[in-house]
Structure 1
Amino acid sequence: MSKPIYVIGHRNPDTDSICSAIAYAQLKNALGEQAVPVRAGKINAETKYVLDFFGIQPPQLLLDLYPRAKDVMHEKLVTIHPRNTLRKLGQLITQYNVKSIPVVEDDGSLVGIVTVGDLAERYVSELGMQDLRETGVDYAGILGCLNGTLLCGGDLSKSIQGHVKIAASHTQTMAKVIKPGDIVIVGNRTNAQLSCIEVGVACLIITGDYEIEPEVEAAAIKAGTYIFRTPYDTYTCARLINQSIPVGKVMKTKVTSFKPDDMVADLKNVIIRTGYRNYPVVQNGKVVGLIDRDRLIVPERDQVILVDHNERSQAVDGIEEAKIVEIVDHHRLGGLETSEPIFIRHEPVGSTATIVANMHWHRNIDISRQSAGLLLAAIISDTVLFKSPTTTAKDRDTAQKLAQITGLDIQEFGMGMLQAGSVIDKLSPSDIVTTDLKEFQIGEYHVVISQISVMDPEAVLKQQKQLNAALQEICEKGQYSMAILLVTGILSEATYLLHYGQPSGLIAAAFGEGRSDGTWFLPGVMSRKKQVVPPLIDAVRRDMYN
């Protein structure tokens, strides 16, 4: 299945950003596209009230768009158990054309990794068959490697203790070479077979698929000797037995692995430094994927639709790694670049939701009651119940149509929603100054402006000292020139402005002299976009030409 298109608003999202993303994703899905609404930050109290009112879950939180290990890993895994043999390993390597295989326990937990090099090293090793007793080889491993049949014997999980010998000499000579507990490869020689059993060997391997005589079987049963029959000749048996070593004995236990959410940029550095062919991707100790160094390609970029913003400074981190396919917004153009022409719906209205609602109607797509409610709430929020100077006739007309779909009284619903968003009892000063925070480049100054709409601005201003400290912290952490907080009175239709940063005279140049307590009272000011940012830009321009 192809990746969905993410519909996302700005960081520190407000009600318009969240609700427009949800409604626009529903429109795209109705038009046959696969779209998913996501959010770039915490839901505020007003938006939570709206979502709860209409019984809608908040969109998934998407903190960034940087490609991660899960985007480039192979999910179809080839794994092997530590008790499996090198022969099994070789078969898997050949079958799936892989260079290394993660070693996992029964529960999927990663315990090591084994490579083609480990297998090749075993072939050129000077260790002979007689050394297999020190590698943990059991009878089941030998039987499996030889594609054999068990004729006599019991527990196959027992480890071999003796040496592996080939019965290629006379019986008398064999008696001097073969010791009790050995494993002996022998052909169709009944006397040799009986002699070996008499010596007390642990296991006879009958090559060439030969049948054994009844007397050999009886002697083996009496002595407790294992007898395997294999279709291979003696030479092949000798080679295959060497592959009965458990993978756990040759695997590398120190494994360089990644987590699914590790960023591709970071894992590339590790790959360059370590130089392995494959890297397991592990989650909660279990392998969920594999990254192939030789096939590590740039992953397909996430496709995103930006709603309620179009500036890089307000977009989710990693937006440069994504492919912007559409922008639906009502703010000034902020200079985002795209690799190719895209669809843009940009109108000078009070809310992005106004645009989204009319796009439904323009395309003859019905708006559900839930979606209509979300869009109505977004218009009310962004226009502060139509008191903001950004409000247009189109906003009012669209809100009326949406109210008819929902059956809600605009004034009653709007006041309840705005009151829910204005409750500050549970908000810390840090929460207040980051509410609906947006970044702006004003001349040479990097400025952040947050706005909170409340019923009683004076209650917020009682925390002025703590708010100033929180603004200072924002400036220092983000290295901004200035941080501004707008405390807007919904009923009084006025705004109080607090700020921290440089240049110290910028606010006075834009709005005149402030109050003695270091704040500015701005009667009639409701809109950051139309009544705060433009005067700041004009003040910077005047300063440049003076």
Structure 2
Amino acid sequence: MSKPIYIIGHRNPDTDSICSAVAYANLKTALGEHVVPARAGKINAETKYVLELFGVQPPQLILDIYPRAKDVMHENIITIHPWNTLRKLGQLIQSHKLKSIPVVENDGKLVGIVTVSDLAERYVSELGMQDLRETGVNYAGILRCLNGTLVCGGELSRIIEGRVKIAASRTQTMAKVINSGDIVLVGNRTKVQLACIEVGVSCLIVTGDFEVAPEVETAAQAAGTYIIRAPQDTYTCARLINQSIPVRNIMKTNVASFKPEDMVSDIKNSIIRTGYRNYPVAQAGNLVGLIDRDRLIVPERDQVILVDHNERSQAVDGIEEAKIVEIIDHHRLGGLETSEPIFIRHEPVGSTATIVANMHWQRNVPIPKSIAGLLLAAIISDTVLFKSPTATKKDCDTANKLAQIVGLTIQDFGMAMLKAGSVIDKLTPADIVAADLKEFQIGEYYVAISQLSVMDPEGVLQQQSQLEAALQAICNKEQYNMAILLITGIVDEATYLLYYGQPAGLIAAAFGEGRPDGTWYLPGVMSRKKQVVPPLIDAVRRS
């Protein structure tokens, strides 16, 4: 299945951002599109109340959409076990035209990587018959390499302890050059075979696919000697036995690998620095993919639909790496650029949910009761129960239609929802400042404006010094010129403003002189975008 299109709201999401993403995903799914609703931050108390009330799961959390190792790795990987032979390795390299192969245990644990260069270096270093005593070769490995037949013998996992020799001398001479425990390559020479068994060799490899004489087999069984019949000639068998060495003897164990969540930008830097051809991708030590240096191309970009925002400063991290395909919003235009024309639905209403609801009706897509409840909650939240100056007749009409679907009274439901969202007992000053924060560029200044809607603003102001410290902390951390907190009273329809930052006279220029305690009381101010940002912009222009 192709990658889905993510429908996602702004960072520090509010109820409109979350509910509009879920509802728009419902519409797009009904129209046959592969979409996934997402969120770019933590769900606040109000939104949590709404989702639980209507039995809807929170959308997927996506903190950034930078391309990662999992987006560029190959999942169909040829692997080899550390106990497999060099012959097996060579066959895999040849048949699949590979340059390197990850080495894994039975459970998929990555233990090394072996390359064509490692194999070539082993062959170049061969000057004769290899001493297999220190290599961990067992009889099963030799049997596989020779594609031979076990005539007689015991446990194939037994490790070879002797040297490999070729019986090319006379019978009398063989007794002088062959020692007990050796492995001997011999042709169709019955007397030599019997002499070797008498010396006490551990294994006879009868080359040329010759039949083993009955008396030789009887003597071998009595002495506990292995006999392997090989179809190749003696020279070929000697070469193949050298390939019975386990892969673990030549593999690299210090593997340069990545994790699935490593960002492609970091991967590229590491690849340039190390210069290997292939890089395993491992999760908790287990191999899950492979990145080919020669095929490391820009991955297919994630496709996203932005709801309830259109500014890069408010978008999920990595938005510049994604392909924006639609924007559904009700805010000012914020200057996002796209590589090609896209669908934009942008209306001057109080809530993105108003737009999404009407798009359902315009496309004759029924709105389920749970989705209607989310959309109604989003409209109520963003318009503060229609008390905000951003509320329009279209918001009210849409809310009334949604309320009929859900079977709720707008006023009662709205007050219950807003009360749920105004409970701040478990919130720290830092949580309050970060809960509904949006970034704005006002003139040459970068300003963060947070808004908290509560029943009792005076109760929140009791933490004024701690809140001002939190504003200072967020300014220092994120390098804002100024951070502003709006504490909006739902009942008395007024806002208290606290700030930290520069220029010091900006707030007074926009809203007049403040109160002696360092706060500003703004009666009738309910909307951040209509009643706070515009005066700040005008103040900067006048300065």
Paired position in structure 2 for 1:61:
61
- Does structure 2 retain, via aligned residues, the 8 Å contact 1:278–1:291? yes
Deviation string for 1:295-316 (max 9, x for gaps)?
A: 1111000000000000000001
Deviation string for 1:183-216 (max 9, x for gaps)?
A: 1111111111111111111101111221111100
AA at the equivalent of 1:30: A
Matches within 5 A, 1:294-373: 294-373=294-373
- Residue 157 of structure 1 deviates from its aligned partner by 0.9
SS in 1 for 2:435: coil
- Residue 129 of structure 1 deviates from its aligned partner by 2.3
- Residue 108 of structure 1 deviates from its aligned partner by 1.2
AA at the equivalent of 2:449: I
Paired position in structure 1 for 2:248:
248
Paired position in structure 2 for 1:137:
137
TM-score (norm 2): 0.99
- Residue 52 of structure 1 deviates from its aligned partner by 0.6
AA at the equivalent of 1:125: S
Paired position in structure 2 for 1:90:
90
AA at the equivalent of 1:315: A
Paired position in structure 1 for 2:453:
453
Matches within 5 A, 1:378-417: 378-417=378-417
The whole-number CA distance in structure 2 between the counterparts of 1:125 and 1:313 is 60
Matches within 5 A, 1:507-546: 507-543=507-543
AA at the equivalent of 2:154: G
Single out whichever of 170-179 and 198-207 deviates more from structure 2: 170-179
* Alignment gaps of 5+ in structure 2: none
Paired position in structure 1 for 2:271:
271
Structure 1 residue 495 corresponds to structure 2 residue 495 = yes
Paired position in structure 2 for 1:106:
106
Matches within 5 A, 1:411-426: 411-426=411-426
- Residue 97 of structure 1 deviates from its aligned partner by 2.0
The whole-number CA distance in structure 2 between the counterparts of 1:435 and 1:412 is 25
SS in 1 for 2:132: helix
Paired position in structure 1 for 2:202:
202
The whole-number CA distance in structure 1 between the counterparts of 2:364 and 2:200 is 90
Over aligned residues, Cα RMSD in angstroms? Answer: 0.9
Matches within 5 A, 1:31-46: 31-46=31-46
The whole-number CA distance in structure 2 between the counterparts of 1:131 and 1:220 is 23
The whole-number CA distance in structure 2 between the counterparts of 1:43 and 1:470 is 20
The whole-number CA distance in structure 2 between the counterparts of 1:404 and 1:27 is 19
Paired position in structure 2 for 1:237:
237
The whole-number CA distance in structure 2 between the counterparts of 1:128 and 1:295 is 39
Paired position in structure 2 for 1:438:
438
- Residue 127 of structure 1 deviates from its aligned partner by 5.3
AA at the equivalent of 2:344: I
The whole-number CA distance in structure 1 between the counterparts of 2:446 and 2:490 is 28
Structure 1 residue 116 corresponds to structure 2 residue 127 = no
The whole-number CA distance in structure 1 between the counterparts of 2:127 and 2:360 is 75
Paired position in structure 2 for 1:150:
150
Deviation string for 1:38-82 (max 9, x for gaps)?
A: 110000000000001011111111011110001111111211111
The whole-number CA distance in structure 1 between the counterparts of 2:18 and 2:97 is 47
Single out whichever of 74-83 and 121-130 deviates more from structure 2: 121-130
- Residue 98 of structure 1 deviates from its aligned partner by 1.7
SS in 2 for 1:76: coil
Structure 1 residue 257 corresponds to structure 2 residue 257 = yes
Deviation string for 1:354-377 (max 9, x for gaps)?
A: 000011111111111111111110
Percentage identity across aligned positions? 81
The whole-number CA distance in structure 2 between the counterparts of 1:459 and 1:26 is 39
The whole-number CA distance in structure 2 between the counterparts of 1:331 and 1:95 is 59
Deviation string for 1:352-408 (max 9, x for gaps)?
A: 000000111111111111111111100000000111000000000000111111111
- Does structure 2 retain, via aligned residues, the 8 Å contact 1:311–1:334? yes
TM-score (norm 1): 0.98
Paired position in structure 2 for 1:180:
180
Runs of 4+ aligned structure 1 residues displaced above 6 Å come to none
- Residue 128 of structure 1 deviates from its aligned partner by 3.4
Paired position in structure 1 for 2:125:
125
- Does structure 2 retain, via aligned residues, the 8 Å contact 1:130–1:165? no
AA at the equivalent of 1:192: V
The whole-number CA distance in structure 2 between the counterparts of 1:272 and 1:233 is 47
- Residue 134 of structure 1 deviates from its aligned partner by 1.5
The whole-number CA distance in structure 2 between the counterparts of 1:10 and 1:44 is 13
Deviation string for 1:133-177 (max 9, x for gaps)?
A: 211111111011000111110011111111111112222222222
The whole-number CA distance in structure 2 between the counterparts of 1:420 and 1:60 is 23
SS in 1 for 2:218: helix
Deviation string for 1:452-494 (max 9, x for gaps)?
A: 1000000100000000000000111111110000000000100
AA at the equivalent of 1:393: K
Q: How many residues align?
A: 543
SS in 2 for 1:47: helix
- Does structure 1 retain, via aligned residues, the 8 Å contact 2:130–2:242? no
AA at the equivalent of 2:131: D
- Does structure 2 retain, via aligned residues, the 8 Å contact 1:257–1:279? yes
SS in 2 for 1:434: helix
The whole-number CA distance in structure 1 between the counterparts of 2:196 and 2:416 is 95
- Residue 542 of structure 1 deviates from its aligned partner by 1.2
The whole-number CA distance in structure 2 between the counterparts of 1:131 and 1:510 is 88
Structure 1 residue 162 corresponds to structure 2 residue 162 = yes
The whole-number CA distance in structure 1 between the counterparts of 2:359 and 2:434 is 31
The whole-number CA distance in structure 1 between the counterparts of 2:467 and 2:245 is 69
